[in-house]
Amino acid sequence: MRITRFVTTHDQGSRFEDLELAWPDSRTDAFGHVLALSRSFAADCLLASLPANLDQDWHNAPDRQLVAVLSGRLEVETTDGACRQWGPGGLFFADDTTGRGHRTRVLEGPARLLFVRLAEDFDVTELTRA
């Protein structure tokens, strides 16, 4: 599974990068299905509802966080002018806690999101290792 991460660049701007998540663990359920699993990690979670037509100017992610879109559609723009959109089921990693940050717009809303806030020392490469 591929997810987008946005990060602070050396010039304090932001850019997107793509990460391929790995599923190094598995478990068989009571029905004989093999479930592929990522590595486990500690996190603090919260749900948010962003209003329709929200248009946030440049800002940083308040925490390093995985964001899952539950409903609605939003767009994120980085300082290099790139824009990406996510709808229900979309997942991205907001990791630009310094610098100029990114812009966020709700295109179809309200947008309901699950924020999985990660520790400062979280190593994202743990989710990409098989």
Q: Would you say 119 and 31 are in contact if contact means Cβ atoms under 8 Å apart?
A: no
Strand partners, 76: 84, 104
Two structure tokens written together for 6: 């946005």
pLDDT confidence bin for 120, thresholds 50/70/90:
confident
The pLDDT value given to residue 39: 87
Torsion over CA: 45, 47, 52, 54 (sign): negative
Q: Tell me the H-state helices in the chain.
A: none
Domain boundaries along the sequence of the chain: 2-24+38-127
CATH fourth-level superfamily of 2-24+38-127: Jelly Rolls (2.60.120.10)
- What's the pLDDT tens digit per position in 43-90? 999 999 999 999 999 999 999 999 999 999 999 999 999 999 999 999
